[in-house]
Amino acid sequence: MEKPLSDNPGSQEAICDSRRDFLHTCSLAAPLLLLALQAKLVRAFAASEPVYNPREHRYGMGIDVSRCIGCGRCVDACKNENDVPREPFYFRTWVERYVINSGGDTSVDSPNGGISGFPAITSEKGILRTFFVPKLCNQCDDPPCVQVCPVGATFATEDGVVLVDRDYCIGCRYCVQACPYGARFIDPRSRTADKCTFCYHRITRGLLPACVEVCPTGARVFGDIKQRSSPLARFTRFHKIHTLKPHMNTKPKVYYADLDEEVR
């Protein structure tokens, strides 16, 4: 007598059945597996820092000349933060003191960039007006230093900050010559060009540049030009703004409020 097929475990059809069952189960399990994997991926992304997109930003700085007290804390902080040589002559930012006499002649001094303050003015006789002006790289929209670099070692990033590629710079000093603001210097250790980066490593992490962080009177304001609610946008709305050497057509992004005509 012939046995029913299903009773025979070794038969062809029984094997087919169990294989079909197995594949069916697998097809059900697959989406579950994918879901589990996705949840893990989502968690991994949430844990990591939000990715910085330079195209969403355009940075600038405002300087209120009438608030600067010439304490030089910005100069000191800049050297600390960016590892700038401590000797005089090497500055990413510095403070100048302008003294305009009633005769019309102007004298400017900046002893060691103002890093340890300014010597007292002995006599106030004949002084018409006097004030401090902090200076730094103007982060031009049309930077002459980038134009002249023969190797492409200095460049404007997508967020508008002009940077120097230290590993690629050949130290030819064209950019030092080209900068109308005297903002660049050659680092004596690496013999490459160096300058203010708006503390690029800080601003891309959402922090303020070191000089803005330590300015005790709020004379320096940092922010995003693109963002309408940034401190910089407010600063440029409520002050009369002037830039340095506008006739050079460099389109600086450092905006001075209450700037005197004598300041170059």
Partner 1 sequence: MPQQLARLLVVFAVFTGGLVVTRHLLIPKTFGQRGHYRAAAVTTIQVRPLRYAGREACADCHADIVGLHGKGRHQTVSCEVCHGPAAAHTLAPVENQLPAPRKRAYCPLCHGYDPSRPTGFPQIDPVSHNPMKPCITCHNPHQPEPPHVPEECGACHGEIARTKAVSRHALLPCTQCHNTPVQHKVDPRLLHPDKPRNREFCGQCHAKDAPSPREIPRIDLATHGGRYLCWQCHYPHMPEVD
Site string for partner 1, 119-158 (x = CB under 8 A): -xx--x--x--xxx-------------------xxxxxxx
- Is 66 a binding residue for partner 1 by CB under 8 A? The answer is yes
Q: Which residue, 155 or 180, has its beta carbon nearer to partner 1? A: 155
Give dist(CA 206, CA 252) in Å, integer. 22
Give dist(CA 113, CA 31) in Å, integer. 66
Contact region with partner 1 (CB under 8 A), list: 24-32, 39-47, 68-76, 181-189: 68-76
H/E element, 254: strand 254-257
Residue in 177, 217, 227, 249 binding partner 1, rule: CB under 8 A: 217
Own/partner pairs, 103-112, CB within 8 angstroms, 24+ separation: 106/262, 112/88
- Is 216 a binding residue for partner 1 by CB under 8 A? The answer is yes
In Å, what is the CA distance from 155 to each residue of 14, 139, 145? Answer: 72, 10, 8
- Is 77 a binding residue for partner 1 by CB under 8 A? The answer is yes
- Is 72 a binding residue for partner 1 by CB under 8 A? The answer is yes
Cβ atoms of residues 135 and 68 within 8 Å: no
Q: Which residue has the tokens 């590892």?
A: 83
Q: Which residues of this chain interact with partner 1, rule CB under 8 A?
A: 52, 54, 66-73, 77, 80-82, 97-99, 116-118, 120-121, 124, 127, 130-132, 152-158, 163, 165-168, 197, 200-202, 204-205, 207-208, 210, 213-214, 216-218
